Amino acid sequence: MGKIEDLDFKKSSLRKINNFLQNINYKNNKRDFTLKNPNGHHAVCAGLTENISVNIKGHVGYYCGGMNQKAHITINGNAGTGLGENMMSGLIHVKGNASQSAGATAHGGTIIVDGDASSRCGISMKGVDIIIKGSVGHMSGFMAQSGTLLICGDAGEALGDSIYETVIYLAGKPKSLGVDCVEKKMNKKDMKKIEDLLKTGKIKNLKANNFKKFGSERKLYNFNIDNISDY
Amino acid sequence: MCGIVGLYLKKKKLHNKLGFYLSGMLDNMSSRGPDSAGFAIYNNKQSKKYYKYSLCLNKILSSELEQDIKKIFKDIIIKNISDHVVVYTSATPKKFISYIQRNFSKISLVGYGRSIEIFKQVGNPKEIVKKFKLEKFSGSHAVGHTRMATESAITVDGSHPYSTGEDECLVHNGSLSNHNNLRRQLIKQGKNFDSFNDTEVAAGYISQKLSENQSMKKTLTECLTDLDGFYTFIAGTNKGFAVLRDEIACKPAVIAENNDYVAVASEFQAMAHLPYVNKSNIYEPKPGVVYTWGK
């Protein structure tokens, strides 16, 4: 097992670093780690299972923090495709931008992106809370099933296309809404949820009433014989 | 999959590092395309005096070519690099290309122009970069490609960059679905194609438009309606290069720009070795938007 100073991609391999972080020895009583020179490597901090915090100094490639459980991962840079894919719990905080499919199929935990996220943000998400301080690209929230997607900026084309029960809160404007995605009325529970998310994301320039709520009209749930010609 | 890279140097003092930087970029993209690789270098050093013809010898001996060629054309310089030669001559493309086609049908012309030099080969990009000694090349800008073959064979003919016009080239990550139709249309308009590859058709399409004096920006914008499929393109000319992603944007791209250079690549890791890259403006090109750099 490596020592703390080994968490440098210039000195060690991705496999060694991930293996170390995935098998933390609690007797060492060490919970905070710094990861240097990630240089766009893929699958950095994938499959972590313990309540540790990892501070990544630089940009990461695809699937950073994928399948994460409990760990708190901070990325001081940008993240590539599939950030926190299938995450179960824990927290991922990107201080730059995130590429496509951030939070794809993620079941739980929280993802915070300080910048923008590109297309298909929260695609097929299943319970995660995603907080985007900038804007998101096209097809965000595509087939999203559960959880919350909070967007402080604007959204690209076809927001929430074929959405299930994920709730989207949007402060800016959507370029267009996807099939079966509609604006919904806010209630007290929504306001509380937004306030909580703003607190989690340390967002001070917006308030709950700056947001609009979008969700499923639930018209795609059942087969409709009138649509037969569309198949 | 495939990996594409492009590097435009804004400052002349960096020109002698072009090959060195690009070789690192191709090296890091070999994971995206292990089947073949190629690159186009733009260097204007002798552009007033000579045309440059990049030829892949395909097992023809360079001495054989040299002997024959020197009988016909005067002021010839031949530069040997692995299985390629670059022929410097004042002979016009019309004369020179038809001569090569008539007398050396086995040799393939991979590109020509006043500033472009193109090299491509089958095999692992890490090896190819070494074989061509890419790190020693200098120039103002360059594009490169690492290929994971999908719709046509692993051959030099199927490798990128494709050059279908003077000083023009194209690299492509993705696949086109209407290339057969488009190829037929372009053949009717007088274009020639050497392979069954989809990217060659896109390159031919772009060359056709540019030869009609249409701007690169307008040409690439029209690609959005005329080309069906997935693509991130880097299209090079002697002036610079342009980037376009299709509107669905499944194929990745990232750009890093600072006062010294513009780097484009499929993934950030291709540019992680470039100086001050972490202090650059790093962003993803937006779907359906044409980005251009150059004079």
pLDDT at A4 over 70: no
Nearest-by-Cβ selection for B269 from A41, A118, A119: A41
CATH number at residue B25: 3.60.20.10
Q: Sheet holding B116-122: strands in order across? A: B116-122, B36-42, B141-147, B3-9, B261-265, B254-257, B281-283
The rounded mean pLDDT for chain B is 95
Kindly state whether residue B178 falls inside one of the protein's structural domains.
yes
Kindly state whether residue B127 falls inside one of the protein's structural domains.
yes
For the segment B39-46, the average pLDDT, to the nearest whole number, is 94
pLDDT at A220 over 90: no
The rounded mean pLDDT for chain A is 94
A153 touches chain B (CB under 8 A): no
Please say whether the beta carbons of A55 and A35 come within 8 A.
yes
pLDDT > 90: percent of chain A:
88
Which of B32, B255, B271, B284 should we substitute to test contact with A (largest number of A Cβ atoms within 10 Å)? B284
Nearest-by-Cβ selection for A40 from B268, B284, B287: B268
pLDDT at A2 over 50: no
pLDDT at A224 over 50: yes
pLDDT at B128 over 90: yes
Selection from A185, A192, A139 nearest residue A161 by Cα: A139
Kindly state whether residue B96 falls inside one of the protein's structural domains.
no
B268 touches chain A (CB under 8 A): yes
- Give the pLDDT of residue B2: 95
Q: What is the dihedral of CA B144, B148, B152, B158, to 10 degrees?
A: 30
Kindly state whether residue B97 falls inside one of the protein's structural domains.
no
Kindly state whether residue B74 falls inside one of the protein's structural domains.
no
- Give the pLDDT of residue A5: 53
Instruction: State the smallest CA–CA distance between residue A179 and chain B in angstroms.
Output: 17
**How far is Cα B4 from Cα B272, in angstroms, rounded to an integer?**
15
- SS3 (DSSP) at A31: coil
CB-based burial label for A10 (10 Å; 0-12, 13-18, 19+): exposed
Instruction: State the smallest CA–CA distance between residue B178 and chain A in angstroms.
Output: 24
pLDDT at A228 over 90: no
pLDDT bin (cut points 50, 70, 90) of residue A6 is low
**How far is Cα B14 from Cα A52, in angstroms, rounded to an integer?**
44
pLDDT at A13 over 50: yes
**How far is Cα B38 from Cα B158, in angstroms, rounded to an integer?**
11
Domains of chain A as residue ranges with CATH: 4-221 (2.160.20.60)
Instruction: State the smallest CA–CA distance between residue B218 and chain A in angstroms.
Output: 23
- Give the pLDDT of residue A221: 84
**How far is Cα A134 from Cα A153, in angstroms, rounded to an integer?**
5
Q: Would you call A137 and B249 a contact, using CB atoms and an 8 Å cutoff?
A: yes
Instruction: Work out the widest C-alpha separation in chain B, in whole angstroms.
Output: 54
Q: What is the pLDDT of residues A29-74, one digit of tens each?
A: 788 999 999 999 999 999 999 999 999 999 999 999 999 999 999 9
- Give the pLDDT of residue B161: 97
pLDDT at B89 over 90: yes
Give long-range contacts, CB 8 A cutoff, 24+ apart: A134-142. Answer: A134/A97, A135/A172, A137/A100, A137/B249, A137/B286, A137/B287, A138/A175, A138/B249, A138/B287, A139/A178, A141/A166, A141/A168, A141/A178, A141/A181, A141/A214, A142/A178
The DSSP H or E segment spanning A197 is helix A188-200
Which residues in chain A (35-94) have CB-CB distances under 8 A to chain B? 39-42, 58-59, 61-62, 77-78, 80-81
Residue A6 exposure: Cα atoms within 13 Å on the Cβ side: 13
pLDDT at A1 over 80: no
ipTM of the complex: 0.90
Q: Would you call A77 and B249 a contact, using CB atoms and an 8 Å cutoff?
A: no
- Total structural domains in chain B? 1
Amino acid at A178: G
pLDDT bin (cut points 50, 70, 90) of residue A104 is very high
The DSSP H or E segment spanning B179 is helix B179-188
Instruction: State the smallest CA–CA distance between residue B3 and chain A in angstroms.
Output: 14
How are the residues of chain A apportioned to helix, strand and coil, as percentages rounded to the nearest 5? Answer: 15, 25, 60
Kindly state whether residue B222 falls inside one of the protein's structural domains.
yes
Segments forming the whole domain that contains residue B266: 3-44+115-294
Kindly state whether residue B219 falls inside one of the protein's structural domains.
yes
**How far is Cα A67 from Cα B71, in angstroms, rounded to an integer?**
68
Joined tokens for residue A221: 């749930």
**How far is Cα B165 from Cα B188, in angstroms, rounded to an integer?**
17
The reported pTM is: 0.94
Beta bridge partners of B5: B144, B265
- CA nearest A37 in B: which residue? B272
Residues of B serving a catalytic function are: 2
Name residues whose C-beta falls within 8 Å of residue B198's C-beta, 6 or more positions apart in sequence. B151, B152, B172, B175, B176, B179, B229
Kindly state whether residue B69 falls inside one of the protein's structural domains.
no
Selection from B61, B183, B166 nearest residue B111 by Cα: B166
pLDDT at A80 over 70: yes
